[in-house]
Amino acid sequence: MFFDHVKIRVAAGRGGNGSVSFRREAHVPKGGPDGGDGGHGGNVVVICDPSLRDLSQYRGRAEFRAENGHHGEGNRRHGATGEPLEIRVPTGTKVRRDDAAIETELNEPGQSVVVARGGTGGRGNKQFTTSTQQAPRFAENGLPGEDAEIDLHLRLLADAGLVGLPNAGKSSLLDRMTAAAPKIADYPFTTIQPVLGTLDADDRQLVLVDIPGLIEGAHEGAGLGHEFLAHVERCKLLVHVLDLAPLDGSDPVENHATVEQELAEHDGRLAKLPRILALSKSDLVPPEQGAEAVKTWRARMGDSALDVILTSSATREGLDDLRDAIFEHTPTGTEAPHWNPATGELAAPLAERPEHITYRPSDKDGFRVEQIQPRVFAVRGKGIELLLARFDVGNDEALRHVEQRMRQIGVIRELERKGFESGDEIEIGGARFELEV
C-alpha cells in the first residue's frame, strides 16, 4: 500500500556526563584532576534517498531515537559523540516540525536537514581547574537532546500528471507510452495509488504520473483521488484524460468540468498549470465523430489548453502526438518554474532557490525573578534552567560554582532587589534549594 503522509516522534541523543577523576600514579606527585568531557548526543537527520518509493517504512513506528553521547572518563579521555539517526525519505518529501522551527522540502538526492539536535556533553572536572580551585570535585552533566513531532508529507516529483475521472483511460495511456505496468481493468478505481512511468527521448527523459481517478467532492475527501491530489502540485504540466464514450452514458462536457473543479478546489494553483487535453478511447467512436470532437474541444478550450489530441490506447492512435506534445510543453529541469503557494504565481526556477529553508524561533537568554511563596523565589529562563541542569546541586562544590555563575550574570542582584535574603529558597526548573549569599 502507498503511504505518502506520516507523523513520527524523534528524539536526539542526550549528551554524556563529564568525569570527576584525579590522576593517581606511582611516583607521580600532585597528579591533579584529569576528568574528560562527555560526548555530544547524536542528531536526528532527515535525508533524501531517491531509492525509496514512499513512507511505508515509518508506519506503525511511533518514536525514533538517536544515540546518547558517551560519558567522559579519567586520564582526560573524552566520551564519543553519539551516532546520528538518519530518517531516509523519498525525493519530494516535505518535512515540518510541530513547533514550526523547521519547515523544508527535500528534492535532491543526499539533501538533508537536522530536525533534532543532540544535547551537548558535560565538561569534566579538569575544565574547572583554576588558580584558586586546583582540585574541583564536580563536573557537568550532559544536556538532553531535542525531541519533536515531525510531519513527513511526500509529493511525487513528476514532470507531467495524468488526471481524469475513474476509468477515463489514464492507466492504459501510461501503460502504452511508458514501461510502467499499472493495473488495468474495465471497472472504476483500478488505480488506487499513484503510478510513475518515464518517457524517453534521445537527450531527455520525463517522469509521467497517473493520479488515481477524481470524482465530484474529491477535494473534500470523497473517493480515492483526494488522497493524492497533492502529488499533482509538483507537476509542471497536466494531461487531462477525457473519455469520449463513457460506459455510464455521462456527458463528457460535465465530466471535464467535474475534474477541473476538483483540481481548482484543492488548490487554486492547479487551475493555472498548463494542460493538454487527451480525448481517449477514440476507437469506440466513428472517425468522423472523433475528428469533430477535437474541433469542438479546441474551440471550447481556447487558450486554456496547449493542445487537444485524439488518442486510443487500443490502436495507439495519437500516442506519438501526445508524447511529442508532452516533451514540447514541459519545461526542462532547472529552467522549470514552480508555483508559489503564497502568491499563486510562478516562482523562481529550482536552480535559483536555496536547498532548504529553516525557520528558528528566537530564544531569549534573559531571566525573570518572582516571589511565589514567603521566602521562596522562582527564577525563570531557559539559560538559567540549563545552568542548573548541568550540575548536581547536592554537591557543595557544584552548588558554589552555580552560585558564582548566578552572581556573574546578575541573578543574585535581581533576587536581592526582589527582597531575597540569605537562607531563602530558590526554585529553578522545578528544583528547590537554599542559597546563602
Q: Give, for all 437 residues of the chain, the pLDDT tens digit.
A: 557 788 999 999 999 999 999 987 776 656 789 999 999 999 999 999 888 877 888 887 778 999 999 999 998 999 999 999 999 998 888 899 988 888 888 888 899 999 999 999 999 999 999 888 888 999 999 999 999 999 998 877 778 888 888 878 888 888 888 765 544 444 343 444 567 777 877 777 788 888 775 644 444 444 444 455 666 767 888 999 999 888 888 889 998 998 888 788 777 777 788 899 999 999 999 999 999 999 999 999 998 899 999 999 889 999 999 999 999 998 765 444 444 444 444 454 444 444 444 555 545 558 899 999 999 999 999 888 888 889 988 888 998 888 888 889 899 999 999 999 888 889 988 888 887 76
Residue 262's nearest CA partner among 218, 213, 211 is 218
Distance of alpha carbon 267 from alpha carbon 228, whole angstroms: 13
What is the CATH number that goes with domain 160-348?
3.40.50.300
pLDDT at residue 242, rounded to an integer: 92
Residue 58's nearest CA partner among 112, 4, 106 is 4
How many CA atoms lie less than 13 Å away from 261 in the CB half-sphere? 11
Radius of gyration of the chain (CA): 32
Q: What angle do CA 168, 171, 173 make, to 5 degrees?
A: 85
pLDDT at residue 190, rounded to an integer: 41
- Distance between alpha carbon 53 and the CA centroid of its chain, in Å? 16
Q: How far is CA 142 from CA 38, 76, 122, 147, 370, in A?
A: 7, 16, 4, 15, 28
161 φ/ψ angles, rounded to the nearest 5 degrees:
-120, 135
Considering the segment(s) 1-154 as one domain, its CATH architecture is Distorted Sandwich (2.70)
Residue 75's nearest CA partner among 132, 29, 22, 27 is 22
Distance of alpha carbon 432 from alpha carbon 421, whole angstroms: 15
Name the CATH superfamily, with its identifier, for domain 368-434: GTP-binding protein OBG, C-terminal domain (3.30.300.350)
- Spell out the residues 6+ positions from residue 368 whose beta carbon is closer than 8 angstroms to its own: 379, 380, 381
User: Are the C-beta atoms of 262 and 216 separated by less than 8 Å?
Assistant: yes
Measured over the CA atoms of residue 413, residue 416, residue 420 and residue 421, the dihedral's sign is positive
265, 268, 270, 276 alpha-carbon torsion, rounded to 10°: 90
pLDDT at residue 230, rounded to an integer: 64
Q: What 8-state DSSP symbol labels residue 386?
A: H
Listed by start position, the domains of the chain span: 1-154, 160-348, 368-434
pLDDT at residue 214, rounded to an integer: 60
Distance of alpha carbon 68 from alpha carbon 426, whole angstroms: 31
- Consecutive H or E run containing 104: strand 103-106
How many CA atoms lie less than 13 Å away from 311 in the CB half-sphere? 29
